[in-house]
């Protein structure tokens, strides 16, 4: 099999020829059709997260890694203990695989398991033309979803879904503010419309991206780099938002989000851009604002999300397909903030 691997943090991916795995037991071998390029690929590739003030949280590479955790593929083989899967079927793979036998795994929090084998993060993923999935419970039907979008529900879609659930918006327009009109923000916009029947406000610093968000159903869009952005949010939300999901996670966005919450409102920080939030503790107490972090989502949430997806309830967003040979250019453009919307790599 062919794969594009991170051989050294921050250096261009290298194309390698690897032995194609043979599935045994409960394993399933997928032939990769399409794999989304997610923002966390940048952090995995770089080998660190920005903590703000120049500090870094290292996540060094243990050995060459085939990235890609937004996998959509076709079943071509499986082990003897697999029963409900057929060759030729196409599935999205849930990549957040836990040990299956710890306190966290036992309460459907495999995504936080300390002994995880996450696809495309700890073990080979969809930047390779074949991916080994450890069990059929991790495979999900995507209905009529376009091939190049399907995989993105496993990370960015799931991340948006889980964050929205934590944010608990009221069932009315403008009770929800989405920070970012990038790929993740747009998926969240579509999921919010499908799940809650509301049109949220979308915030970004890029007018082109905001234009897309408005076309896709945002009730209002605000450029946060413009003068008086916070005032505009407060005005549109009638004094503060019930729920804000920050898909950027930068110092400026998280602080803006916190400031624009109503009393008892919830800010869910999802993005990993980096930085710090400053909160005056008495204000936090007196306003009962909630500040929550959210990282991907559980297998149970994936089931809920994929039921909406398979039923065609979530309107698809546009995805640009690129050949996997363009992985390096794609990562570079994503790092520079140049990608409008989602990009998926194909192996044909």
Residues of this chain that bind Zn ion (CB under 5 A): 38, 40, 98-99, 102, 105, 113, 155
Task: Choose between 41 and 204: whose C-beta lies nearer to Zn ion.
Answer: 41
Task: Choose between 43 and 313: whose C-beta lies nearer to Zn ion.
Answer: 43
Residue that the structure tokens 């044909």 belong to = 348
Task: Choose between 151 and 169: whose C-beta lies nearer to Zn ion.
Answer: 151
Query: DSSP characters for 236-298?
Result: HTTSSEEEEEESS-BHHHHHHHHHTEEEEEEEEE---SB------HHHHHHHT-EEEE--S--
DSSP 51: E
Task: Choose between 95 and 265: whose C-beta lies nearer to Zn ion.
Answer: 95
Cβ at position 155, least distance to Zn ion in Å: 3
Which residues on neighbouring strands pair with residue 71, listed in sequence order?
Answer: 35
Among residues 64, 69, 61, 70, which one has the least CA distance to residue 18?
Answer: 64
Cβ at position 137, least distance to Zn ion in Å: 14
Distance CA 219, CA 206 (A): 17
Q: Using an 8 Å Cβ cutoff, are 156 and 96 in contact?
A: no
Cβ at position 174, least distance to Zn ion in Å: 28
Please count the helices (runs of H) and the strands (runs of E) in the chain.
10, 18
Cβ at position 105, least distance to Zn ion in Å: 3
Residue that the structure tokens 């390779």 belong to = 128
Task: Choose between 91 and 153: whose C-beta lies nearer to Zn ion.
Answer: 153
Cβ at position 212, least distance to Zn ion in Å: 20
């Amino acid at each position: 099999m062919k794969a594009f691997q991170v051989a050294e943090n921050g250096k261009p991916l290298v194309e390698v020829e690897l032995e194609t795995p043979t599935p045994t037991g409960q394993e399933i071998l997928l032939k990769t059709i399409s794999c989304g390029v997610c923002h966390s690929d940048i952090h995995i590739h770089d080998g660190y997260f920005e903590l703000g003030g120049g500090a870094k949280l290292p996540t060094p590479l243990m050995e060459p890694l085939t990235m890609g955790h937004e996998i959509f593929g076709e079943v071509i083989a499986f082990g003897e203990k697999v029963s409900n899967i057929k060759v030729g079927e196409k599935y999205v793979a849930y990549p957040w695989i836990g040990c299956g036998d710890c306190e966290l795994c036992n309460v459907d929090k495999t995504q936080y398991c300390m002994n995880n084998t996450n696809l495309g993060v700890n073990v080979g993923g969809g930047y390779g033309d074949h991916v080994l999935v450890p069990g059929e419970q991790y495979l999900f039907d995507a209905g009529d979803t376009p091939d190049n979008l399907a995989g993105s529900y496993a990370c960015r879609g799931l991340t948006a879904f889980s964050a929205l659930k934590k944010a608990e918006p009221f069932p009315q327009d403008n009770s929800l503010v989405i920070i970012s009109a990038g790929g993740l923000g747009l998926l969240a916009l579509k999921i919010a419309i499908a799940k809650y029947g509301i049109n949220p406000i979308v915030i970004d610093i890029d007018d082109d991206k905001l234009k897309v968000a408005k076309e896709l159903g945002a009730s209002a869009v605000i450029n946060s780099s413009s003068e008086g952005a916070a005032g505009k949010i407060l005005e549109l939300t009638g004094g503060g938002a019930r729920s804000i999901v920050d898909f950027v996670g930068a110092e400026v966005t998280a602080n803006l989000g916190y400031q624009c919450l109503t009393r008892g409102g919830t800010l869910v920080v999802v993005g990993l851009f980096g930085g710090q939030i400053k909160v005056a503790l008495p204000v936090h107490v007196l306003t009962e604002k909630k500040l929550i972090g959210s990282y991907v989502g559980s297998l149970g949430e994936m089931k809920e999300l994929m039921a909406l997806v398979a039923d065609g309830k979530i309107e698809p967003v546009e995805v640009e397909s690129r050949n996997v040979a363009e992985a390096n250019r794609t990562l570079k453009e994503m790092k520079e903030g140049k990608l409008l919307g989602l990009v998926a790599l194909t192996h044909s």
